[in-house]
Amino acid sequence: MGLEIGRYTYASLVDEGMNRKKHSNCRVEYSITNTPDFAQTKSLEEAHDFAINGWDLGLKEFKVEDGVLESGATEMQPSLAGVIPHIQNHIMGFPEEMYQLYDMREYNLPTLDIVVNLAYLGWVDGSDALRFSKCLVGYINAMASTRNIRLTGVFATTQSGSREVYDFVTLKDLDSTLVINNVAFAFHPSFFRRFWFGVVEGREYWNSGYGGTIDNYVKIAKKELAGGESDETLFFKSLSSNGGVYDWDIEDIPRITF
């Protein structure tokens, strides 16, 4: 049995899913041909637009502007250089065309690791995945005011040749600004069913499909976090192994975590 571990940022996984060269073993590119109901986006291009420029659930449901939480924890100031475009200033021709972020929260907060299995089986309905993600983003939003959060996603799958593959995605590190667009869209079905599918289509082990999910990924994930464990760690189950709990509150967490 082989073991393969990949490490990504949110941006690098999106980039590889869009631009990888298809492997000769890959006969069908489901990242492109997946139906809108399955992937919850009309096309790979629409998914890319959501991933880069904003997703309605992340940006509207949680009352955020330009992908940054309006929680008071982060102050945004127009600047000549920054991390987020200032659309209004650009249109009006002002030189401060970017936003610079200033984190205003306390730094001595208890640390919390949140690890989420982003891979799930094909029978999970895309709309159920969206319902779950809404609850998860709401929980992260609520915890951000009292905890210093590190957020990690993992695609834990078995592939041909009895190979176990774990692709870890750093979505937010400790002491970094919480950019809600990245956090929210990472749990959107298209992050898995278009971008990660696209990544796998460039790998030699593609074999008529995208593998099966590894439900209990905790042992490997703990090794990845070794030496940097937080005060508390939550390992969320995959959507195909959490008992069908898609709408949940904080009191339901013991049912959907290990």
Q: pLDDT of 207-236, one tens digit each?
A: 778 888 898 999 999 998 876 678 999 999
**pLDDT at 62 exceeding the cut of 80:** no
pLDDT band at residue 72 under the 50/70/90 scheme: very low
Which of 54-58, 63-67, 178-182, 213-217 bottoms out in mean pLDDT, i.e. has the lowest?
A: 63-67
Q: Tokens at residue 183, please?
A: 């956090």
Instruction: Give the pLDDT of residue 70.
Output: 46
Rounded to an integer, the average pLDDT of 21-34 is: 91
Q: What is the pLDDT of residue 252?
A: 92
Total-model pTM: 0.81
Per-residue pLDDT band at 107 (split at 50, 70, 90):
low
Cα diameter, the chain: 59
Q: Which residues pair with 166 in a beta bridge?
A: 5, 156
- Evaluated on CA atoms 183, 187, 188, 194, the torsion sign reads positive
Q: What is the pLDDT of residue 207?
A: 76
Distance between CA atoms of residues 21 and 112, nearest Å: 37
- State the DSSP H helix or E strand holding residue 176, giving kind and residue range, or none if neither: none
For the segment 49-53, the average pLDDT, to the nearest whole number, is 87
Q: How far apart are CA 108 and CA 203, in angstroms?
A: 42
Q: What is the pLDDT of residue 65?
A: 54
From the CB of residue 219, how many other CB atoms can be counted at a distance below 10 Å?
7
Residue 183 has pLDDT above 80, yes or no: no
The identity of residue 228, as a single letter, is: G
Indicate whether 16 pLDDT > 90.
Answer: yes
